[in-house]
Structure 1
Amino acid sequence: MNIHLREYQQECIDSIIHAGPGAWLAVMATGLGKTVTFANLPRTGRTLILSHRRELVTQPRKYFDCDYGIELGTQHSHGEPVVSASVQTMTHRMNNFAPDEFDRIICDEAHHSGAKTYHDIFNYFQPRQLIGFTATPNRSDSVRLDDVFQDIVFERDLKWGIQNGYLSDIYCRRVNIGYDLSHVKTSGGDYAPGELEEAMDGTADAIAQAYKDMAIGATLVFAVSVKQSEEIAKRISGAAVVSGKTPPKERQALIDGLANGSIPCLVNCMVFTEGTDIPRVETVIIARPTQSDSLYTQMVGRGLRLAPGKDKLNLIDCVGATGSRSLCTAPSLLGIDLSPVPEKKQQELEGLLFDLPDKATTLSDCPESWIRNVEIVDLWAKTQSYNTHGVNWFKQPDGRMTLSLPHKRLTIPPADKLGRCNFGGRIVTMQYALDNAYKMLCRDYAKEKYIWDVSAAKRWGAQPASEKQMRLVSRMCKGFDCTELTKLEASQILNRRLAG
């Protein structure tokens, strides 16, 4: 297959070749063509491609100019130069291959590779290169990959793709359609399908209304089930449903109809999450709630292609009550963690995609958020196995850790996929940055320990706030009810204001 690679795709290939033997990570946003990139890596031996979902196993076949074997369910490879396998299947079949069988292993959607199933495969095989590809942005609350990959050898994120004219800009909006996922169980890192479908029952009217009020041009709607897809389509004039049971010729005819304007809207259930190229799509409606960054990114990715007359992608998130469950929405595309943003203020996170980080930071900059951030940081540190030394860090939506001191604010930048950050002009591990910040605080701010040390602050601040503290808080944070504040909570608010 003769494919003309874009300059950055060739640069990625060159970076991987230059890296030599080892385990390397390449970050490439959805829509920039990571599959065609890794398909064009020069082969000096057999290649194994690992994917975490069934549909990803067969998708790369069209980009390879050689025999392509599959290890999935009842399908088996037969010595082909390229073998594509699901991780679940390969965990049971890896003993069918010699440890040195493959010269290169490509791990697609590599942000999943911290899981034990991946580790079992990586520990068995001995390739010359292990290359991970991911489109998911840095997430300070996601699994770290530093125990799998040595370094990030190439990175082109969503912002780069949009700013350099390869992807469409995104205008983000939210509409509350009234669902409640607070009691829906999680299975395999996402909402359990059956329970999710039940929780979304009765939302078709609201989704159809969102289309009528907010959609622009050719529209793709992602629903939770075929039944819900049909219910939504019934309520939208001219809409059609595409499901896994739609015959290939009929599916293509429907896609062509959306592309030429004869069909205004296609409603689907998990059909267009991968590999569908419809540049004319101007609106994507996410009516399929998910906790999976990669699935959310793939759904949005169907609308990122450029097209004549297309100004930007109109992205509509259908939201509802989630309780303590996480929900991927537009800020997830940039790795923004909404836990520091009070739920009642999250509705304000609308507008152009790259305006959202500043909006999220502004919305999290409030007394309620400052007080509960101790719990957020504790949870973050626990999931990442970090030792914060009891420092009263504040976690910003973009992953930055900040500490308010008298007339000063100390900052540690967000960690990358390998748990590293730029601290003091050096690329160091996040733990190194936390350790050295703690040493500096002990040295230079010993007298103010009640401000930055959580344990000392709790001992000092368990009593109700003083009248002077409450007067100052009332003056600085108009409209905030400070009658129930402790000394610690009041101090957190005042220090934050004074350091701001």
Structure 2
Amino acid sequence: MKLRPYQQQAVDSIWHEWETVNKTLLVLPTGTGKTICFAKVAEEAVRRGKRVLILAHREELLQQASDKIMSASGLTTAMEKAEYTCLGQWDRIIVGSVQTLCKDKRLSMFSKTYFDVIIIDEAHHAVSSSYQAILNYFDQAKVLGVTATPDRSDMKNLGRVFESLAFEYTLPKAIQEGFLSKIKVQTLPLTLDISSVKISTGDFAVGDIGRVLEPYLEEIANKLMEYRDRKIVVFLPLIATSQRFCEILNERGFKAAEVNGKSQDRTEITQAFAEGKYNVLCNSMLLTEGWDCPSVDCVIVLRPTRSRALYCQMIGRGTRLSPGKDHLLILDFLWHVERHELCRPAHLIAKSDDVAKRMTEILEEKGMDLEECERDAESDVLAQREEALAKELAAMRKKKAQLVDPLQFEFSIQAEDLTHYVPAFGWQMTSITDSQKKTLEQFGINGDSIEDAGKASMLIDRLQKRREEGLSTPKQIRFLENKGFKNVGTWSNNQASKMISRISASGWRIPKGVVPATYKPPVEDFSPQW
């Protein structure tokens, strides 16, 4: 099986990381082939004479892993689950149930060096005690965690388990490169009041959601009438709510079916839905992992959540490509919630919370393509930031500090990845070192306000890259922006130096004929001089 370019890059990056660390992480959005990637890693490990354990917490994920490994490499797998054991089997790849293997009695059947490589599917679960028991027992193994896009809190938790991020492929990039479906959002004019819902273990309590949602089900079904030509998956909080909503839809002429964890015939129902015998599939959080149906072109989330990872998993049921499918439609509602933020479509791709907030406002005003909405929102937020920055810079100028404040520099070069940086791994969270501070000072940056080594390292790398590319320095940017010039962060070092020389020659006043607010430096001529 030939890997896509980003998949090959992911596999290569994993092996590269394992040269220096034992535990690394792969982040790929749903539908981009994370199972194929770790199947190829497992295949290469076997080629190198190693024994591989693939861990998952659900039967569907174990079977999916086994099937993908067979299709990708032709290798068979052994099972470590309940009454099945891999001991005595010839297979070098084992798919194992976490619930079975985490027990002390089961672990004691293996030597601590029995597995050379451990792969954890849906790795956001790896922080749990059951996974940790297994990892702590096989503590010499190389570990790969694979997960879809997690939120920041998840990344912080995963940073306690994994030592590095080997590779990340984002949802916007997958859409832009044509590997996932475009996403459009339509906000329906119905306000769902969940302000009374309690928080339990960090998310909205499903029991409360079911109770609050029940009175809205009839009206929600009425709003869906014009979307009967869509192939829809609906996520609901409780089995009873899911079953009731399915009944209401069928009363209105939909061909709806319902599956839950207790359904004996769920395989038959999901297959019938895939074949078009049903056009709506209702479920109570059963289909968030381990189920694929590429022809799904509409997703409705009636189980509000604060977890970006969970929200991405739900929406991910509809992001795969399929013949005749132009885009995925997310039908969203006007959610009224107090005190606690909940995930909305904007959180699928927004790079920051303020962009997500503005995107949500735009989407509630009009339905549109998600990427187009992000561009509009980023433009609005940038304008707001520049206004706020102007006020902050006015106060900063009075200090006349010799070194440039890193915040000013980040905004000047519009480096959102620096501005919104959040450390994830252990070394990144440590305090900035004296050596890093000294290096930053050599670049003209005051490192006193930088709290962690990860941010300092990222900023130093950016400064070195700018120097190599011949771009303006922090001090040049500060001086010229203080004089009223715009976008100096995009100027070359030479362009900035020439303008500073002109200002110096004019007695440190703006040269005649130059309007700083609209000035653009002349394009430099790099043609050969004969």
TM-score bin, normalised by smaller chain: 0.5 to 0.7
| 2:102 partner SS | helix
Contact 2:56 2:62 in 1 (8 A): yes
- Aligned-pair distance for 1:31? 0.6
- Aligned-pair distance for 1:241? 2.0
Instruction: Label 1:256 to 1:89 Cα distance change in 2 as closer, same or farther (>3 A).
Output: closer
2:246 corresponds in structure 1 to 233
Structure 2 residue 259 is the aligned partner of structure 1 residue 242: yes
Out of 273, 278, 282, the position equivalent to 1:258 is: 273
Aligned-pair identity in percent equals: 30
2:454 corresponds in structure 1 to 429
1:413 corresponds in structure 2 to 417
1:326 corresponds in structure 2 to 341
Contact 2:193 2:337 in 1 (8 A): yes
- Mapped partners of 1:216, 1:192: distance in 2: 33
Structure 2 residue 15 is the aligned partner of structure 1 residue 13: no
2:506 corresponds in structure 1 to none
2:26 corresponds in structure 1 to 26
Contact 2:57 2:99 in 1 (8 A): yes
Q: State the aligned residue count.
A: 413
- Mapped partners of 2:84, 2:103: distance in 1: 14
| 1:171 partner SS | strand
- Mapped partners of 2:226, 2:423: distance in 1: 39
The structure with more radius of gyration: 2
- Mapped partners of 2:38, 2:454: distance in 1: 29
Instruction: Label 1:411 to 1:277 Cα distance change in 2 as closer, same or farther (>3 A).
Output: closer
Contact 2:155 2:424 in 1 (8 A): no
- Aligned-pair distance for 1:176? 5.5
Contact 2:184 2:368 in 1 (8 A): yes
| 1:266 partner SS | strand
Matches of residues 62-73 of structure 1 in structure 2 within 5 Å? 62-64=67-69, 65-70=76-81
Contact 2:185 2:330 in 1 (8 A): yes
Contact 2:151 2:309 in 1 (8 A): no
In angstroms, what is the RMSD of aligned CA positions?
Answer: 4.6
- Mapped partners of 2:335, 2:233: distance in 1: 20
Task: Give the strand-richer structure, 1 or 2.
Answer: 1
- Opposite residue 102 of structure 1, the aligned amino acid is F
Residues 186-232 of structure 1: CA deviation (Å, up to 9, x unaligned): 33443222222222221212321332244642222122222222332
Instruction: Label 1:436 to 1:105 Cα distance change in 2 as closer, same or farther (>3 A).
Output: closer
- Mapped partners of 1:142, 1:15: distance in 2: 19
Structure 2 residue 286 is the aligned partner of structure 1 residue 274: no
Residues 65-93 of structure 1: CA deviation (Å, up to 9, x unaligned): 121213xxx67755365242438973867
Higher mean C-alpha displacement, 298-307 vs 7-16? 7-16
Higher mean C-alpha displacement, 23-32 vs 329-338? 329-338
- Aligned-pair distance for 1:123? 4.7
Structure 2 residue 288 is the aligned partner of structure 1 residue 284: no
- Mapped partners of 1:140, 1:410: distance in 2: 25
- Mapped partners of 2:103, 2:201: distance in 1: 16
- Mapped partners of 1:17, 1:335: distance in 2: 30
Instruction: Label 1:189 to 1:356 Cα distance change in 2 as closer, same or farther (>3 A).
Output: farther
Residues 78-130 of structure 1: CA deviation (Å, up to 9, x unaligned): 53652424389738678635543321122333345567776665455323411
2:376 corresponds in structure 1 to 359
Residues 133-153 of structure 1: CA deviation (Å, up to 9, x unaligned): 122067489526445434433
TM-score, normalised with respect to structure 2: 0.63
Instruction: Label 1:369 to 1:245 Cα distance change in 2 as closer, same or farther (>3 A).
Output: farther
Task: Give unmatched runs, 5+ long, in structure 2.
Answer: 70-75, 389-404, 430-439, 444-452, 463-472, 482-516, 519-530
| 1:275 partner SS | coil
- Aligned-pair distance for 1:178? 3.3
| 1:203 partner SS | helix
- Aligned-pair distance for 1:435? 10
Task: Give unmatched runs, 5+ long, in structure 1.
Answer: 372-390, 395-400, 449-496
- Opposite residue 62 of structure 1, the aligned amino acid is D
Instruction: Label 1:143 to 1:261 Cα distance change in 2 as closer, same or farther (>3 A).
Output: same
1:179 corresponds in structure 2 to 192
Task: Give the helix-richer structure, 1 or 2.
Answer: 2
Contact 1:284 1:316 in 2 (8 A): yes
- Opposite residue 174 of structure 1, the aligned amino acid is T
